[in-house]
Amino acid sequence: MKGIAMNIKGALAVSKRYFRDALRYCPTRLDAYHESLKSALKGGHVKDAIAVADLALKYIGQTPSTLYMYGKALSHGDQKQKSKAKVFLEKSIQADSSFVYPVYTLVGLISKQDKHRKAIHILESCLKDNSTSKLHQLLGNSLLEVGERARAMHHYNIALNLDPSNKKAKEGLEQTEKKMDGNSLDESFIAQSLDQSVEVSYG
């Protein structure tokens, strides 16, 4: 799709035109909404992103993907919008327990509010049906935050076994080992790992 190529090059204004045309001729094309949302978030246009996701809900209906897109867009807004985002992300997870992307976003939101026990519960529930490097890495982060270092190391190791290139899992493992050795914990890596990417993925 030409719009995707333009988006990769960073030509957001031109990219939007192709996605807009794609949606005009086929308003049920999920990939066009997906790429439009990515484009808007990459440019810091949260209102545009929310508008795109709202249209996806209108024309495609409430599916795991459209619920996730709306929650993802709202998660970049103000506190009121972030609270609303949780509702849509939870609905997406309930609709399809194998869809891991809303879990990533939801855990990022609640972890920033220091609700680490809730994050642990969500991640452990998701891991019953799915096993990805990022899920284990996020669980390691949350466990480390509540002082469960041995379990954190266990999940960081699983994350690295699944994806040896997972830098955040490697950093988490190193920080956990330092903490267990009595050295001070550099908490910045956890904060960085919770920073939400503007990337919207469907895997």
User: Residue 184, class by beta-carbon neighbours within 10 Å (0-12 exposed, 13-18 middle, 19+ buried)?
Assistant: exposed
Q: What predicted TM-score, i.e. pTM, was given to this entire model?
A: 0.80
pLDDT at 200: 58
Q: Which of 69, 132, 62, 137 is nearest to 95 (CA)?
A: 62
The predicted pLDDT at position 188 comes to 52
Residue 39 has a pLDDT of 87
Where residue 145 falls among pLDDT bands split at 50, 70, 90?
very high
- Give the tens place of pLDDT for each residue, 70-129: 999 999 999 999 999 999 999 999 999 999 999 999 999 999 888 999 999 999 999 998
CA 197 to chain centre: 7
**Tens-digit pLDDT profile for residues 32-77:** 899 889 988 988 999 989 999 999 999 999 999 999 999 999 999 9
